[in-house]
Each structure stands twice: as C-alpha cells, then as structure tokens.
Amino acid sequence: MGEKYVVAIDSGTQSTRVIIYDSKGNRLARGSANHPKMLTPHQGWVEHGVNDFWDALRAASAEMFSNFKGNPADIAAIGLSSQRSCFLALDKRGDLLCNPISWLDERWRMNVPSLGQVTNDIADPLYKAFWPYYSKANWLKFNNPEIYGKAAKYLGVSGYLGYKLTGGFYESISNSMGWPYDIINWTAFKGDAEIEAVGMRRDQIAEPVPAGTTIGRITGEAAAATGLPEGCPVAVAAGDKQCELLGAGAVKHGQAYITLGTLSGLDIVCNEYKPAPDFSYFTYLSAFPKLYNYESMANRGFLLVSWFRDNLGEGLKAAAREAGVSVEALLDREAEAIPAGSEGLVVLPDWSPSAVHPSGKGIYLGFDDRHQRGHMFRSLVEGIIIQIKLGTEKMTGYLDLPINELYIGGGGSKSNFTAQIISDVFNVPVNRTRESENCSLGAAMCGAAGAGLYPDLNSAIDGMGKNYDRFLPNQENHELYKALSAKVIEKLYPALEDVLKDLGALTAEKK
C-alpha cells in the first residue's frame, strides 16, 4: 500500500490554513488565505463576514493543492480545528442568519443587566457564574428576537465548516468554551434547563463528540468546492490552542506549552477540573478526555517583537535580504552578544493596559551609555518571557502543579536565542517542536486517528510528532533572572501605578 496523506484545516481569527502531511507528520504542502478585515458595526461589536470562513477554506485548499506533488486520491483523512468561542446562527436551510460573532466581541456584557442575577443548581462554577452572561444566544434573545426566533442551529467555526464539508451537525467537546456542554462529565447537559440558561434549545446545539472522532465524509458538493476528495473521512479536533499542545506532544498531566505567536502565553495540562475562582486564567478541555488545559496569556506577547522590528529595526531589511534571513534573525544576532540581564536594562512589556495592569504602559528602565539596539531587543524578549512566567505562577500555585517539562512552539520559537531565555527563566529543559504549525499538526493527528491510520491519538503523536530541539537551563542566568524579577520587575508596576494613571490621563486622546 502506498503512502497515505492527512489534510489539516485550521481556521483562525485572521486566516485559514490548509496543510497536507504524510503519515509520519512531515509537512508536504501548505495553503493559506487571510480573512477579510473584521467588521465593527458598533463600539465593542466584532464580526466576520457571512462567507469569510468558507471562502477562505476554498482559497487555502486551492493553494495547498497547487503546491502538492502527490495524488489527491491518496488523502485518507482530514482533521478540522478552529478558533474558539466564535458564534454562528443558522436557519432551517443551513444558511447563516447573521454575521458570525467573533470571540473578540464584547456585546455579551449587555446580558448582565438583561439577565439580572442568575441562579441555578449547576455544579460547574464557570457555568453558574459566567456562561449565561457570555452567551451570544442570550444576546440575540434580548436584542434581536427576529433572528433568535429563526435560529435552527448554533455552531462554532469548526462545527460550521464540518457541516459545510459533510452535512452533519457535530462539534468537538474539546472546543466547547461558552457552549452548553457539561465539561465536568464531558457530555451534553442531560437537563434542558442547563441548555436554556444560555439561550439555546437542545435541538439547536451540535452533538458533542471527542476530538479524533470522524463526523462524516466529504460530500460531492464540498469536493467540487474545495478539491478535497469525495468520501474522505473528516474528524473534529480540539480548539486551536489545545491542538497546539497536541501537535507538540504536551498532553500529559504536568506538561506545559508556551506559544510564541501574536498571542503568547502558557498552557499546562492537568487531570483535575479546577477553574480559576477569580477568572485569572482560562479553562479549556484537552484533546484527551478528562484532561484540562489551563491557560495564562501575556498581554501583547510576541506582537511586541514585530513592533520592535518595524519601528527600531531601521536599516536591517536590506541586510536581511542580502543575507537571506529575516530581520528578526539579525536582531537575534545583536542580542546574543549581550549578556543575560542586558547589562541592567529591563522592560515591563505593558504596551497596552490589561486586567492585571489596568494603567499599564511599556517601560524601559536602566539606560546607560553601554546600551545599544541589541540591549533593547534582548531586554524586551527577557521582559516578555519573565511576564509569562509571573503570569503563570498564580495559576500553577492554585493548581498545585509545578512546571517540570516545557514545550514551545509558534513563530517566535524558531529563535534559538529566545528558546534559551525561556529555559533560563523557567529553569527547566525546553523542547522546541520542529514543526512550527503545531495546531495544524495536532488537527492532522486527530484526522489520522479518526480515520484509523493510527489506532488512537497517543499512537498518532508517536508516529507523527516527537521531533524536538532541546535547550537546557544555564543556572547562573536563571539566578540573575530570578533576582531581576523579584527585586526590580515585580516592583515596577506597583511603584509607578499612580504615575502611569496620571500619564494616561494627561495623554488621553481628545474626543
């Protein structure tokens, strides 16, 4: 029997990617399509266009096939992942009733006065205290009764694309944030009252199934639209961040993963359900049943590396082209020549306010005549990584789960310089995945397991992943970062909070 291929679909906030892998997890071809700019019809509202996800899937699939040298008939499985908490309402014909509502949308806050005090007997503290207010269906109920009355199905992005590809209504239980599923018992709620609390009926929700479950096969209509082979099995994966952990192989209790993309942060795997009592971290269902991914995100994260590149990397673009490398690689070279701690230059990377630092602004502290651009770049990366560590300490303390094994992925992880700083700051060995598209690889693993190419997800991880570069901590550097964090960085915001508040008021944009 010849080689069989697996296609991964990853539909994110800004783009959709379609990637084909062989059965060993080697990437063979890639296609991507940006989504149109999101719509903001009112302050705080954020929507996608009605056709954005399906059009992007078709375009990305066409690009992938244009780069693929194999036989499409040998595609044996498709795995489907997507962004989390996007909301789509369909009518009886399966057509969208309104623009998909993004996870970035804030109109759910209007539910608080509309719903008043919610009381119920649900054991899950998140569902009891938060999900009825967060529900976009409840927003429709109170603010757009015409659409609310016509809604036959409510879906997330992966559920919608699964419907478009196979005709069935299913959703991964591991992509359930905000949906009326019992995440303690990993089923749909058995009582109707729990579903109605978020403004839905039982017949309106997709059937929840475990990640790695085949939900149907590519229809003739979908095959004509996408080029994917008719009859090919489609399996649901987890949400995009959970799929990143799956693709990296971080799927056991106590394993942690840092993603270094536009959104940067740390997820840790735990076998207990312990949501944050103060919502200081997020709780997601793992790709594996009865395991949970707890997530703490850094404000802006590696978006600040792009900011530095675009604003302070003057003169490096031509040099990067000539050398055949990225501007970031040249900045890494400058920073690698600087000792840990950037010779006394430190950064508080709050380029915008956050829930933790509501008056936050970016701070560089400690300039003297030794400092050049390399110092500035190194101290920025050090500041981001230290912020990620500080942001996770409360979470890991509450979970009673120290970080002993750390994996990294995402665009920023390609830098050896950054990977070493992570190992030094956290004082643990760091495994960097050689596949930078970990979400897509995780989705492909789900597809492969669902179609029977591997007997289960653990076997798919062993067969398609486990390729790492390893970085070990430098103890001297760790002690320096530990002291900088405790003696300087942790004291910066409390010491300057009133000053930053006044600065924000003085420089606020005039209405």
Q: What is 166-197 written as a DSSP string? A: HS--EEEGGG-TTSSEETTTTEE-SSHHHHHT
**Would you give the distance in Å from CA 352 to the centre of its chain?**
20
> Is the pTM of the predicted complex or chain greater than 0.95?
no
Which amino acid appears at position 301 of this protein? Answer: G
- Please compute the mean of the pLDDT values over residues 50-77 and round it to a whole number: 97
Taking the C-alpha atoms of residue 69 and residue 65, their distance in angstroms, rounded to an integer, is 8
Buried b (16+ CB within 10 A) or exposed e, 230-264: eebbbbbbbbbbbbbbbbbbbbeebbbbbbbbbbb
What pLDDT is attached to residue 395? 93
What pLDDT is attached to residue 491? 96
Q: Are 443 and 10 in contact (CB under 8 A)?
A: yes
What pLDDT is attached to residue 509? 63
Which amino acid appears at position 233 of this protein? Answer: P
Give the containing element (helix H, strand E) for 240.
helix 240-248
CB atoms within 10 A of CB 103: 16
Report H helices in 76-208. 111-115, 125-129, 131-134, 136-143, 145-150, 157-166, 192-196
**Structure-token pair, residue 494:** 């409390």
What pLDDT is attached to residue 434? 87
From 232-236, 252-256, 363-367, 506-510, the region with the lowest mean pLDDT: 506-510
Confidence of residue 422 (pLDDT cuts 50, 70, 90): very high
- DSSP 8-state assignment for residue 102: P
- Please compute the mean of the pLDDT values over residues 497-510 and round it to a whole number: 87
Confidence of residue 1 (pLDDT cuts 50, 70, 90): low
Taking the C-alpha atoms of residue 278 and residue 270, their distance in angstroms, rounded to an integer, is 18
Residue-wise pLDDT for 461-501, tens only, equals: 999 997 899 999 999 999 999 999 999 999 999 999 999 99
Computed over every residue of the chain, the mean pLDDT equals 93
Of residues 118 and 419, more confidence is placed in 419
What pLDDT is attached to residue 101? 97
Taking the C-alpha atoms of residue 179 and residue 138, their distance in angstroms, rounded to an integer, is 12
* 429 pLDDT more than 90: yes
What pLDDT is attached to residue 510? 59
- Please compute the mean of the pLDDT values over residues 348-355 and round it to a whole number: 85
CB atoms within 10 A of CB 38: 18
Structural domains of the chain sorted by starting position, each given as residue range(s) with its CATH number in brackets = 5-239 (3.30.420.40), 243-300+401-414+428-471 (3.30.420.40), 303-391+475-506 (3.30.420.40)
Residue-wise pLDDT for 178-202, tens only, equals: 899 998 999 999 989 999 999 999 9
Taking the C-alpha atoms of residue 248 and residue 137, their distance in angstroms, rounded to an integer, is 34
* 335 pLDDT more than 90: yes
